[in-house]
Chains A and B, each alone.
Chain A
């Protein structure tokens, strides 16, 4: 439940930020959206199993699912690189497009 609420709050903030004009705010919105989706991936593995997934140490009933964690790791790397690229786009060019289009 906590996860669901957190995801909801993050998506709310992300959508609000993405609807702004400035590119930096849009980027911050994307960062939040990325976090929301990463939490979704985490919750997809089931939050009730928390033990470390080590063969021989923990039984399969309590071990957490490593696959969604690997997904999240991959997704974080990709989102990180695109965020950097977008920040570069925000810095190049004349202005941050905060004015109304003329």
Chain B
């Protein structure tokens, strides 16, 4: 792919979003237009992965402005991997939203498209202020989506979500101001290594990393996630879980590698905070009693695992972290979508009001079990490889406490997954809450029986796709491990990246 096409990956979804808002189109056409940009991005990012597999990079100065004035778009293996995964998730989640009819809500399509454009831009940009703008582009439609769909609690959680994100974005902006004041540039190429040399830049960057940690929901600033995500619709939860926190995590990886140059002085803070994140997240899940709130707390715990990679900052650690990030995005979305299918069909995600699904929906049970085992880190799924490399990386870096916590938390994760399994898939089907009217036996004597709804096949497909992806990543782990290793090497030695940004 020609590097001059990179801005199109952002511009195309935005234009289609505009088209969808301005014109009234038949449903099938607007659905096609909703899926098409992500499909194109998926194909394009596959091409980008192929081009960057040897560690080379593509860069483009938007609108061909001179270096220093322009906004550079850079794609290396790490961003190409993220682009591939995020576009896959947007595609699958949008397909699920179409299957359950969420997309009939007005402006659902345009909002999702703008969101995906923001994510794509944030993954490619090589400019700190532009990163802020793209994160805002990604968040603004999210506010709309959160308040549009889901239970009535969404209005309350919408308030929390908007205020929290506005606060962290403002803090992020303050950090950008401090960095600009100290270094006179916000270009990542020029900022390379600046935080390791100048304490003033390091302070500014510290403020930025703090804001990004809130956005990625690391303990102790994780509370908002568990309060907001479960109250919107399942498709939107899956979309957010795959995109929002993960873009913040990507930015932390990138900024720490480039601007701090992997400065070992601050790494111990990361190890402590992210080990706590693993532990607190998984313990928080114990007290929850609906499928989605359990899964959301697990997300917090998994974020600890992913960020531990950057806190180790060794080749193995970074590689494991990147592998874990990709694995987690896919598995978590799969879990949200398969439990979301149950929630849509049976009207609830509460553990005590569901049961016996395994007997009625064997395929759904299989998808859930696969993704849950992958999350807990059992072979042959991708989670096993991810956890194994991460624990190995932690031992290699001498952080054996973090490694022990990582292993122990896996057991708790498995326990929680069993809790969902036992509550939703096994056991007896609970009695319906409302008394069912007595069967009418008049006339020909035919008795009508209570028919329990069955999950439509079309709702299962998105979950199947993602579960198959995690299984194939687990079986053919070398491909993704090699790519992660290339990405990690680029983070350790940022000279290629800096060269690409400075064009």
Contacts and interface: CB of A to CB of B under 8 A. Distances in A.
A82 B140 contact: yes
B170 A34 contact: yes
B162 A44 contact: no
Interface stretch (B108-116, B173-181, B256-264, B445-453): B173-181
Interface of B: 129, 133, 136, 140, 143-144, 147, 155-156, 158-159, 162-163, 166-167, 169-170, 173-174, 176-178, 180-181
A89 B158 contact: yes
Contacts of B180: 41, 44-45, 67-68, 71
Contacts of B147: 89
29 contacts: A18-B163, A23-B159, A30-B163, A30-B166, A33-B167, A34-B170, A37-B173, A37-B177, A41-B177, A44-B181, A45-B181, A68-B180, A71-B129, A71-B176, A71-B180, A75-B173, A79-B170, A81-B140, A82-B140, A82-B162, A82-B166, A85-B140, A85-B143, A85-B144, A86-B166, A89-B147, A89-B162, A92-B155, A97-B159
B155 A74 contact: no
A68 B174 CA distance: 12
Contacts of A79: 166, 170
Contacts of A56: none
Nearest to A14: B170
B195 to A, nearest CB: 16
Given A33-B167, A44-B181, 20 more contacts: A26-B163, A30-B163, A37-B174, A41-B180, A43-B177, A44-B178, A44-B180, A45-B181, A68-B177, A71-B177, A71-B180, A75-B173, A78-B133, A79-B166, A81-B140, A85-B143, A86-B159, A89-B155, A89-B159, A93-B156
A67 B133 CA distance: 14
Interface string A26-70: 100010011001001101110000000000000000000001100
Contacts of A97: 159
A43 B178 CA distance: 9
B176 A43 contact: no
A75 B172 CA distance: 11
Interface of A: 18, 23, 26, 30, 33-34, 37, 40-41, 43-45, 67-68, 71, 74-75, 78-79, 81-82, 85-86, 89, 92-93, 97
A88 to B, nearest CB: 9
Nearest to B174: A37
A10 B253 CA distance: 33
Contacts of A33: 167, 170
B110 to A, nearest CB: 15
A35 to B, nearest CB: 10
A86 B162 contact: yes
B170 A30 contact: yes
A28 to B, nearest CB: 12
A90 B100 CA distance: 29
Contacts of A30: 163, 166-167, 170
Contacts of B166: 30, 79, 82, 86
B133 A74 contact: yes
B177 A85 contact: no
A81 B167 CA distance: 14
A44 B158 CA distance: 33
Contacts of A43: 177, 181
Nearest to A11: B174
Contact of B176 (A41, A45, A78): A41
Most buried by B among A68, A78, A79: A78
A40 B167 contact: no
A37 B159 contact: no
Contacts of A26: 163
Nearest to A85: B143
A82 B169 CA distance: 11
Nearest to B155: A93
Most buried by B among A45, A82, A86: A82
Contacts of B173: 37, 41, 75
Nearest to B69: A67
Contacts of A41: 173, 176-177, 180
A16 to B, nearest CB: 14
A40 B170 CA distance: 11
B190 to A, nearest CB: 13
A79 B174 CA distance: 13
A32 B155 CA distance: 24
Across the A-B interface, give the 9 residue pairs with the lowest CB-CB distance, nearest first: A44-B181, A40-B177, A44-B180, A41-B177, A44-B177, A37-B174, A93-B155, A78-B136, A37-B173
